[in-house]
């Protein structure tokens, strides 16, 4: 398990942070075009998820906090996954798809898709400095919130925070005058 040189595992334990926080962006931020592989080794683009709300989790098998939070992401996908919402766990492992498949089998992860950053684009393109890092993405493919560090993703507190953001996204879609245009954005940390 080889970590990329430009990223590190963030300290923390999934579920240890009782005050879960998303860093909400004042304006939705357009995301760069990313390409990665799925479990069948087909090329997938982040844009392929447009029209859905996405929780994009950047992780690796060598990252202790990532390993701890993956079962809760699997349970979150089981609970909230739908045509409108999907958890996309994007592995940045350099050792290939086989390592990720083995990890999924070892932990019994069955609800999450398998995705790997085979083209080594995600860390730099998304400005990730440590993992796990998780982005909440609107149906237009724009980042609206970010969480650096692990979480217990299926805890009632976190599910409530995610639902609140999903509802806010749905409201912005129904009221086009309130939808933000892309542009420079400041961020603020908001507890949910």
Q: Is the model's pLDDT at 187 over the cut of 90?
A: no
> Which one, of 130, 111, 16, lies nearest residue 63 by Cα?
130
Q: Give the pLDDT score at 16.
A: 46
Question: Would you place residue 167 in the very low, low, confident or very high pLDDT band (cuts 50, 70, 90)?
Answer: confident
Q: Give the pLDDT score at 12.
A: 56
- Which residues neighbour 191 within 8 Å (Cβ) at sequence distance 6 or greater? 19, 20, 21
Residue 59: phi and psi, rounded to 5, are -150, 175
Calpha distance 81→101 (Å, rounded): 21
- Domains detected in the chain: 8-191 (3.40.30.10)
pTM: 0.83
Q: Give the pLDDT score at 11.
A: 56
**Conformation bin of residue 41: beta by default, left when phi > 0, alpha when psi is -120 to 50:** left
Tens digits of per-residue pLDDT, 38-71? 999 999 999 999 999 999 999 999 999 999 999 9
Q: Give the pLDDT score at 174.
A: 63
Q: Give the pLDDT score at 6.
A: 52
Q: Give the pLDDT score at 165.
A: 87
């Amino acid at each position: 398990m080889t970590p990329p040189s430009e990223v590190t595992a963030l300290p923390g334990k999934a579920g240890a942070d009782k005050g879960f926080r998303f860093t909400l962006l004042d304006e939705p931020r357009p995301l760069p075009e990313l390409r990665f592989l799925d479990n069948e080794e087909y090329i997938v683009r982040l844009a392929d998820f447009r029209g859905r709300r996405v929780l994009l989790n950047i992780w690796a098998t060598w990252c202790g906090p990532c390993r701890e939070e993956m079962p809760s992401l699997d349970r979150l996908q089981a609970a909230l996954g739908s045509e409108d919402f999907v958890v996309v766990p994007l592995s940045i492992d350099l050792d290939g798809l086989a390592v990720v498949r083995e990890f999924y089998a070892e932990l019994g992860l069955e609800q999450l898709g398998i995705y790997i950053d085979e083209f080594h684009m995600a860390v730099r393109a998304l400005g990730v400095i440590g993992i796990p890092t998780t982005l909440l993405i609107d149906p237009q493919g724009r980042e609206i919130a970010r969480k650096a560090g692990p979480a217990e993703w299926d805890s009632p507190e976190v599910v409530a925070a995610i639902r609140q953001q999903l509802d806010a996204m749905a409201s912005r879609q129904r009221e086009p005058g309130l939808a933000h245009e892309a542009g420079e954005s400041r961020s603020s940390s908001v507890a949910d």
